[in-house]
Structures are given as structure tokens and as C-alpha cells.
Amino acid sequence: MSSPEDTKKSRHPRNRGWTGSAHRANEGRLEMTSEATAPGQDPARAIRPEDPRPAVPPAEPEGRDDSLKDDAEDALMAYRDDSPEPPPRFGDEGRRAEELAQATVVEDEDDDDEAAEVIAAVTPEARDEERAGAGLQLRMAPAEEAEIDPAKLDPDALKVVYRLRQFGHEAYFVGGCVRDLLLGRTPKDFDVATSATPNEVRNVFRNCRLIGRRFRLAHVYFKGGKIIEVSTFRANPTGLAGQSEDENGADANGEEGDLLITMDNVFGTAEEDARRRDFTINGLFYDPFAGKVIDYVRGRRDLEERNIRTIGNPEIRMREDPVRILRAVRFACKCGLELESRTYAAMEGAVEDLPRCAPARLLEETFRLIRGGIATDSLKLIAALDALKILLPPVHEYLQRTGEQGEARFFAHTRALDRRVREGEQLEDAVLLAAILLPIANDAPATEEQGKPPSVAEAIEQLLSDLVRNARLPRRIAERCRMILIAQRTLSGQRRRRGSLASFRRHPLFNEALTVFAISVEATGEFREQLDAWLSGGAPSVAPDAEGPRRKRRRRRRKSVSRDS
């Protein structure tokens, strides 16, 4: 007869090779058979006096509802995916399923067969077969039947859609990627819309992070820094109780309501999500497995007619989010589309609401116009809408003050910038902003007072300060832009510096400043000789009337006369 100490050692997980709840379950079975089993009683139904938990129920006969199996599969998938949330707990009836799900990591050879059966029951192949029987097809549509060539779809985005479908969620490509593919363009990125909530998306993907407060999104990360953005189907938040308006924007009392969207996390269906989007060309879904474009808003018709049209009443849509004005400008200039007349009129009326938007969003949309190589057409359209005074006040004031001559000079700089961007040159935000503000800096040269560092024009200083303070422009970008503008007169030889021009090459911002200088030379044709001197590895000579600090002449020391001489 074994002693209590021997029994205790035999139960230890290190000796038995069990881990976690698998050890506890088997330990409970050992105790039930050795201590709590009465004569003639089924050991599987024995209960220890000190353990209030019910025993493991016997296997159920065939034909039983297999909802318990689904719960076990979901628990195991969440456990294997290292989900940040713990696996769901089951009642007493589901304890056997939970124990099997957590027993997949075993060390004892005796439990290998049991664990293998559990893993095989929830492999992706088995899950695919089960859901395929329910009508969900997880096979890609053949290229000859698909409305969009499968070879043009991003493989990582396809993985996201496929995995969401495996877990029983709706998932489609949405927005700009569908629009660009139908127009024959190469999408910059691929976005996914799904019926899964942000937290459910995070539970499906380990490489996922939730962002946003006003608009909650999930970012799925891949190698090389690629991000696939996953959004949940949403309903129009202005349709909530207490915020419902009619087609003309009037509330229940007949008064004009405030339609500005401040919260956009009201989840809905795919059709509701399409109808709450801004423009019809952005409300298209694509199902890669069916090979069909899903169009709830007649977006394909507008693409064929080359029109940009809002979904629903354009007056309401623009007042809900005035940033849509800048988005419409970007789509029109980027894709070569025309603004529908009612949409354009609504954009003009909503310009006054732009200051109500978050300054950071306005700044980001403005940078998107410049980064896309469409700065010239975009800024002309924004100026026609009278929105330039809100986005870039110094530029608006400069164009108003200088007239046609200043306008021609300014847009010559933007065209030179667009050519470089379209050629694939990667320019940082400080260089883009400096190239836009350069005509203003040349019109009002930097001042340099005695004992103080040089500064750019007062209007530019004010703009950079406002962007840092209100629009969350990083101070580093603002300071780099300021120094690049100051360096332009040094590069042209119009300003002296304390060191030689040749030593200016060692300045940390020399390359960025030279890029902006080259854009200015290309736009105006001035100072080409100075640019050639810099590009050849030398340095131009300083103009005789150049401003700035002059090198102090060192006074020769007088030789002291010896008193004895």
C-alpha cells in the first residue's frame, strides 16, 4: 500500500508530465477513483467531499445539439491565437469541452492521441468544411468570372478578408481600392470593411492594434511596415434618437439642427455602411470570393460618367463633415473626375464650417493634396471655393496682394513640386511645406537684427506657430521648414554667413534646402549658375551687396617694444 507522500508525488505535474488544467482534471479523476468511489458506483460520477465541482459528465449520445462543440472550437482558437482577452468560460455542462481545449499543449505521451483529436476537430480545414456546408464559400472566384482581376488584389489584404470569413464575419474590400481598380489605377492601399467589431477583429489577429476615438479602427500589421485598415460596418450617427433630421436638415421641431458628426461608432450593416459614406464612388464593396462588386449607392454609374456625387442630400453630407470638401477636391484632381453641380454648390456653402473641424484633420488632408502630386490643381480649386483663407492664410493673402503676377509665380513653384512628386521622389513634409511657402518668403526676405538669429517673414512665422499650437504639426517639422526657407538666400549667394559657403555643405539640412532651391530655380529660371555650382561640388561666390554678417577683420597685434632697447 502506497504512503500518502508517494501518492502526493505521483500527482505532481512534473512527475506526470501534465500542465495547466489538464493536470487538474486528471488529478481529480485519480482522486475520485482512489478515495471517493463507493462500491458499485460509476467512477466517472464520483465527487470528492472537499471539491464542490461536479464530475466530468460522460460522453453524450449522437444526435445531441452540437452548440457545445462550437463553443469549444471558439475557445480553442482564442487560446491558440494568444488573444489578449481570456477564453470564454463555460458552465458545468461545458467543463469537458473546456478541459479538452486547454489540453492541446501536453508533454505526456499518453495524452497525445486525445490532444490530436481535439486539434483535428478545429483545424482550418475542418472549420472550412463546416462553414462551406452552411453556404459560405471560401474559394476565390476564377479570373475569367471575377469583375476585378485577382492578380491585382493585395495578398495580405486577402489574408485579412479570408481569416475574418473563417471566423464567420462578413468582410469585403471597400472604398478607394475598389474605385481605383475599376478606373484601371493602382491603389495606394487596400481597406477592409467587416461585420466584426473592433474588439472582435483584435481577437482574430494577434498582429492587430486599435486606433481612433471618434472613429474606432483596427490596424493589422504585416512585415515591412504594411498596414491593412479594417473598419466595422457603421450606421449613420445622425439617425439616432434625438438626432434625427429630415432631408433638409431640420430636426423634429422644424428647426435647423447641428449636423456636425462628433461620434461615429454606431455599428450597422453593410448597406447602412455604404449609405453613410461620403461619395458614391467610395461606397463600393468587392467580394473576392464571389468576384462581384456590391453597389448599394449607384457608384458604378458615377464612375462610368466620371462624376463625383454625394450619397444623399449634398447639403447635409457636407455639413456633417466639412473635411469632405477637401476629400472631394482630392478625388477630382487625382482621378480626373468632375464635381456634380449640386455637390459643388454644397461645398461652397459648407466652407464656413471648416474652422469647426479638428485642425489636425485639416492639416493632414492639406498635406495629402501636396504629397499626391496634385498641389497645383487642388490649390486652384480650393482658392475658387474661397477655402484657402482658412487652410493657408499667408498664401491667400499673398495671392490677393500680388495679383496675377504673384499667382503665376506661386503656381509655377507648385507645378515644379508636382513634377518631382510624380517622378517618384520622396520628399518629407518639411520640404513640401517649404516649397509651398517659398514664394512668400522670397517676397518678404528674412530679417536679421544685430545679435539675433535670422527669421523668415512674419506671416510665415505666424502660420508655423499656429500649425504647431492648434494643428498638432510637430515642432521638429516646423523648425526644419523655417531653417530651409532661411537657407535659400544663402544658397543663392544673397546672404553671407559667418563661415564659408563651402562649409555650408556640412549643415544637417543642406540637402533638403538644396532640393527646395532647385524647385525655385526650375520655377523661375533665376540663380541657375549658383545651382550648377552647388551641384558640381563647389560653391558660388557671394554677391557684393549680400546682406548678413560680415567677417570681422582681425586686428594685428602690435609688437611690444622692450624698455631696454
The pLDDT score that the predictor gives to residue 130 is: 42
Q: Per-residue pLDDT for 219 more than 50?
A: yes
Is the pLDDT score of 42 beyond 70? no
Length of the chain: 565
What is the C-alpha separation between 505 and 536, in angstroms, rounded? 12
One-letter identity of residue 400: Q
Select the more confidently predicted residue: 547 or 480: 480
Better-scored residue on pLDDT, 450 or 26? 450
By three-state DSSP, how is residue 194 classified?
strand
CB of 265 closer than 8 Å to CB of 234: yes
- DSSP at 287: E
> Three cell numbers at 446?
528674412
Q: What are the pLDDT digits (tens) for 97-156?
A: 334 334 333 333 333 343 333 333 333 443 444 443 344 547 888 889 999 999 999 999
Element (H, E) at 478: helix 475-491
- What average pLDDT does the structure give for the chain? 76
The pLDDT score that the predictor gives to residue 283 is 95
Q: What is the pLDDT of residue 513?
A: 95
Can you give the pLDDT at residue 157?
96
pLDDT for 548: 61
| Residues of the chain above pLDDT 70, percent | 64
Of 74-78, 366-370, 529-533, the one with minimum mean pLDDT is 74-78
Q: How confident is the model at residue 69 (pLDDT cuts 50, 70, 90)?
A: very low
- Secondary structure class of 510 (helix, strand, coil): helix
Mind giving me the DSSP string for 200-241?
Answer: HHHHH-TTEEEE-SSS-EEEEE-GGG-EEEEEE-B--GGGST
Find the mean pLDDT for residues 209-236.
90
Identify the active-site residue in 71, 111, 180, 191: 191
Which H helix or E strand runs over 292?
strand 292-295
Q: What are all long-range contacts of 147-154, with beta carbons under 8 Å and residues at least 24 apart?
A: 147/286, 147/291, 147/292, 147/293, 148/178, 148/181, 148/182, 148/286, 148/288, 148/291, 148/293, 150/288, 150/291, 152/181, 152/186, 153/190, 153/288, 154/187, 154/190, 154/228
Centre a 10 Å sphere on the Cβ of residue 297 and count the other Cβ atoms it contains.
21
The number of beta carbons lying within 10 Å of the beta carbon of residue 383 is 19
Q: How confident is the model at residue 552 (pLDDT cuts 50, 70, 90)?
A: low
CB 388 within 8 A of CB 396: yes
CA angle 501/504/510 to nearest 5° reads: 130
Q: Which of 76-80, 437-441, 506-510 has the lowest mean pLDDT?
A: 76-80
Would you say 212 and 186 are in contact if contact means Cβ atoms under 8 Å apart? no
Which pLDDT does position 233 carry in this prediction? Answer: 95
Three-class SS of residue 284? strand
* Banded model confidence at residue 34, pLDDT cuts 50, 70, 90: very low
Is 278 catalytic? The answer is yes
Please identify which of the residues 278, 353, 377, 429 carries the catalytic annotation. Answer: 278
Amino acid, res. 316: I
Query: CB-based contacts of 472: which residues, under 8 Å, 6+ apart?
Result: 359, 360, 363
510, pLDDT greater than 50: yes
Q: How many helices (H) and strands (E) does the chain have?
A: 24, 9
Neighbours of 134 (CB within 10 A): 7
Long-range contacts of 295-304 (CB under 8 A, 24+ apart): 296/270, 296/271, 299/179, 300/182, 303/179, 303/182, 303/183
Q: What is the pLDDT of residue 97?
A: 38
Q: 219 Cβ partners below 8 Å, 6+ apart?
A: 208, 209, 210, 211, 227, 228, 229, 230
Q: For this structure, is 189 an active site residue?
A: yes
pLDDT band at 435 (very low <50, low <70, confident <90, very high): very high
Distance CA 352, CA 347 (A): 10
Q: From residue 287, how far is each of 171, 193, 276, 293 by CA, in Å?
A: 8, 11, 19, 6
Indicate if the pLDDT at residue 165 is higher than 80.
yes
Tens of pLDDT along 303-316?
999 999 999 999 99
**Per-residue pLDDT, 186:** 92
| Nearest in space to 55 (alpha carbons), one of 68, 41, 67 | 41
Give the pLDDT confidence score for residue 6 in this predicted structure. Answer: 53
Q: Beta-carbon neighbour count of residue 328 at 10 Å?
A: 27
Contact in structure between 18 and 25 (CB atoms under 8 Å)? no
Cα separation, 520 vs 135, whole angstroms = 62
To the query of whether residue 191 is one of the catalytic residues in this protein, the response is yes
Looking at residue 119, its pLDDT comes to 34
Using the predicted structure, report yes or no on whether residue 504 has a pLDDT greater than 70. Answer: yes
Helix (H) or strand (E) run with residue 164 in it:
helix 155-166
Confidence band (pLDDT; 50, 70, 90) for 378? very high
Average pLDDT over residues 225-247: 70
The residues, ordered by sequence, that sit 6+ positions from 226 with a Cβ below 8 Å of its Cβ are 156
